[in-house]
Structure 1
Amino acid sequence: MPRKVANLLALAVLGTVVQRPMHPYEIASFLRARGKGADMEIKWGSLYTVVRNLAKHEFIEVVDSQRAGARPERTIYRITDAGRAELRDWTRELVATAPPEHPRFKAGLSMLSVLPPEEAAAALRERLDELDQATAAQRALLAEHADVPRLFLVEIEYELAVREAEVTWVRGLLAELTTETFPGLAAWRTWHATGEIAPEHAELAERGAHREEPDE
């Protein structure tokens, strides 16, 4: 069943106001300070819309409003019982389920053959450089926050583990390309040099072109 407010920013808002009542500007400050933009895609321009939608569906409610000098009035929101239930159920769903994802890297790999082997290897080296920098930064971040309970760092641990696994896989693929042990490398290189498709590749393409359409 679709969420009444499906934007992941709404989850972050609920996870913030569950601590204490806040106004939207304060919520944004808390989220930025905790680096939540690195954990989920957050469009800050949508914050006030998300807050209004959460209030509309009674996941949060107005508890007070404040005005300081000439500044605009700030509405303070607190989480409701329905909001607490939504926060817990949504978090449980995200942790427990594994829907198919379509990362950009996977899309690029699916088209890797359009690059000559040497160019593909160069692109993988560039990716490895970025991954090495990212993993080093995450290790440093974990070391910097060694006094923070692990419960509040598990998302960084997860991302680091995923990046390290990707580094291992990419290094392996790059090694196959550079040591000429990648299967079909000669045919791949010949195709780019002459435009001639290897017979086994042509047969595979032909087989796919004539595959019967599935019954509706």
Structure 2
Amino acid sequence: MGIISNVEFMLLQLIAECGQASGYDIKKLVDQRGYREWTNIGTTSIYAGLKKLGDKGWIVSEEPHRKSGKGPLPVCFSLTDAGLAKLKAETISSLSATRERDSRFDLGLAAMAHIGKDEAISALRTRLDFLEQASVKVRQKYEAQGSAHLPLHVRALFLHPLSLIESEQAFVARLINELLEESEIWKQ
């Protein structure tokens, strides 16, 4: 059925959820749900993604039949049967087999012995601050959207990154403690 990017996958989800959505509706949902906090989705990538989905036959655009107010009505998009099938297949695949991590952080962990122990501890403490700020941002968006009153699929969108952040905070704190206790000679 074709390769699908993260942006295209997200667009299929949001259009399916809305039934019919304009680019503006999608941008608003992306902002409200904090997608930009954890994925690379800009306004231009939304419109480029919509074009790609249309080219693949997964969505159709509907031109407005009448004007509203001073400007034209926005073009709305809806899923085709093929688009719905692709959304279902991608959802099953991503829930069952996707494992994504920030490999740049892993590379930093692997290279840690090449910096001073104090530098490593300082960098990891800075990461704890970064993670705390990220947690606060996600939690604020979650609460602003209605937290526990949200549908499960929307709550999960917030609770999963919060869970990952908490797990990474615990990992980094343990690593700092090990570094503080370690007596091994580090490169300076």
Report the TM-score when normalising by structure 2: 0.82
Change (3 A) 1:136 1:45: closer
**Could you tell me which residue of structure 1 aligns to residue 25 of structure 2?**
26
Give yes or no for the alignment of 1:75 onto 2:80.
Answer: no
C-alpha distance in 2 between matches for 1:13 and 1:151? 15
Give yes or no for the alignment of 1:40 onto 2:30.
Answer: no
Aligned CA RMSD, in angstroms, stands at 2.5
Which of 11, 14, 27 is 1:13 aligned to? 11
Unaligned runs of 5+ in 1: 193-216
**Could you tell me which residue of structure 2 aligns to residue 170 of structure 1?**
172
C-alpha distance in 1 between matches for 2:141 and 2:74? 34
Moved more, 70-79 or 48-57: 70-79
Does the 8 Å contact 2:148/2:155 carry over to 1? no
Give yes or no for the alignment of 1:56 onto 2:55.
Answer: yes
Change (3 A) 1:168 1:151: same
Q: How many residues align?
A: 184
Q: Which has the larger radius of gyration?
A: 1
1:117 shift after superposition = 0.5
**Could you tell me which residue of structure 2 aligns to residue 206 of structure 1?**
none
Does the 8 Å contact 1:39/1:155 carry over to 2? no
| Identical columns (%) | 25
Unaligned runs of 5+ in 2: none
C-alpha distance in 2 between matches for 1:46 and 1:111? 33
C-alpha distance in 2 between matches for 1:137 and 1:100? 21
Report the TM-score when normalising by structure 1: 0.73
